[in-house]
Amino acid sequence: MSQKVYDIRQTPTPCKWSLNSSEPSPHRHIPHQERPKICGSILEAIGNTPMVRINNITKKDGIECEILVKCEYLNPGGSVKDRIGLRMIEDAERDGRIEPGWTLIEPTSGNTGIGLALTAAAKGYHCIITLPEKMSQEKSNTLKALGAEIIRTPTEAAFNSPESHIGVADRLERELPKAIVLNQYSNASNPLTHYDQTAEEILSQCDGHLDYFVVAAGTGGTMTGISRKLKERCPNVKIIGVDPEGSLLADPEHDPVGTYKVEGIGYDFVPRVCNSELVDQWVKTNDQNSFDIARRLIKEEGILVGGSSGSSFWAALQIAKTLPAGKRVVVLLADSIRNYMTKFINDNWMIQNGFMLPPEDNALSGKSLRDLNLSPSQNVLPSTPCSEVLQLMQEKSYDQLPVVEGSSILGVVTVGGITAKLSSGKLKSTDPCSMFLYKGNRIVTLDTPLTYLNTLFEDEHFALVNTGTYISIVTPIDLARYVATLQA
């Protein structure tokens, strides 16, 4: 495996574990315990999640083998990551690396941050979470409710960039007194909690009988810890790793790195805790399959999961379709529906991101943006001062303007955005408009169906139109005027 894709702050793991080795473990292991009838705190409710048989989907899809799902989304914080949040903090306490009054910092896709913040709240630690912009607002809201401080970072930043969620966390650790990054990417507590706890639960629930175990890889700690214990106790079990298209975990030498919508799995580097030597087969998944299957699990089985669980279950179905009756497939479902209420659970979001077709509308069917005959919009440069942008908007009666540099659309400035920042003192009239860009804009083309645009405007106030030769802005008013002409 190429060293260039490892987190450059660490060498590959020096762990000496190997299957059937007689060498004693250098790690502290914690015996598995059943959940007490009355938990002393919410932390004792972490783990011991149920194993559930799939019935309706297997029947509809003609699956002959048994599929069981390990419902990690039923942990108190809503994901499998509650386990490592608790274990990393308690191991650090035992080792004397943290004590009351310290600040815990963690770069995360959201779920580890929630698990860490949950334990921090119960134990009284201050928590700072660095979170890529891609991650859902629901995750951010949950973290805030738990008392965590959140710093958003650019999604496109490479893992080793100072602007990435990892880079920002490292800088904060250096700058803040009594602060520590527990670092799920290299912390042995990550795979250890799954080796000691999650795997033991699976073995107990299955009475030691399972033929395939399917798990998606994020940091790889869940996959590494569980697969090692399962291979020790069930030598014939097949481990199926799941990796989204756009991630390189399955094949670091050849997999191209790209963007994808599914959250919490896949990376553009191989974390130190990720050891795939026991993975018998990798299955690559895409956003469409992941979201479709997650929605099926919710609708047909009543299992309220997130998108990465759809990735895992889709991969499991590909394996299960080849298996006869009598075989057992266990799938780990990592997180819950709670984090994605405004994302793949929402039909409009699915339509706006190309995963569902818009509903047919008699007035707009077969029509595209080309039919609106839009004129080019006035654009501004990122260096244009705030005062000049406002003056232009007032003269032309614009509510928003595209900010363009060369052939690149950098974002949009709006009257409301400028006014709010000026009145709050966060902006000066001489500041360049690049300081108050709105980057969450939708970009459409002249071939975009008006049925799609109609759905988009249920959530958005405008969209940018890139014709290839000029930039324009389309608003709900433009669409309403066009519909009025059709009805005249």
- Confidence check: pLDDT of 246 > 90: yes
Arithmetic mean of pLDDT, 442-460:
86
**Can you name the residues that pair with 152 across neighbouring β-strands?**
131
Distance from C-alpha of 461 to C-alpha of 430, rounded to nearest angstrom: 27
- The beta strands (E) that lie in 227-364 are given as 238-244, 281-285, 328-333
Q: Taking a C-beta distance cutoff of 8 angstroms, is the pair 35, 295 a contact?
A: no
Residue 212 has pLDDT above 70, yes or no: yes
**81 assigned to active site:** yes
Q: Residue 293 half-sphere exposure, CB side, CA atoms within 13 Å?
A: 24
Determine the average pLDDT of the residues in 299-308: 98
The answer on pLDDT for 10 being more than 60 is: no
Pairing verdict, β 471-474 and 463-466: antiparallel
Task: Return the higher-pLDDT residue of 109 and 215.
Answer: 215
C-alpha distances out from residue 132 to 135, 156, 173, 281, Å: 6, 9, 18, 29
Rounded to an integer, the average pLDDT of 448-473 is 85
The answer, yes or no, to whether residue 154 has pLDDT greater than 60, is yes
Per-residue pLDDT at 487: 77
Domains by residue range for the chain, with CATH: 40-78+189-340 (3.40.50.1100), 82-181 (3.40.50.1100), 357-487 (3.10.580.10)
Percentage of the chain beyond pLDDT 70 is 96
pTM for the full predicted model: 0.83
- Lookup result for tokens 């409009």: 348
Q: How confident is the model at residue 121 (pLDDT cuts 50, 70, 90)?
A: very high
pLDDT tens, residue by residue, 156-183 = 777 778 888 888 999 999 999 999 999 9
Active-site position among 70, 81, 343, 367: 81
- Tens of pLDDT along 55-97? 999 999 999 999 999 999 999 999 999 999 999 999 999 999 9
- Segment 396-428, tens digit of pLDDT: 888 888 898 887 888 888 888 888 878 878 788
Cα end-to-end span (Å), the chain: 66
pLDDT given at position 2: 37
Confidence of residue 4 (pLDDT cuts 50, 70, 90): very low
| Predicted pLDDT of residue 3 | 37
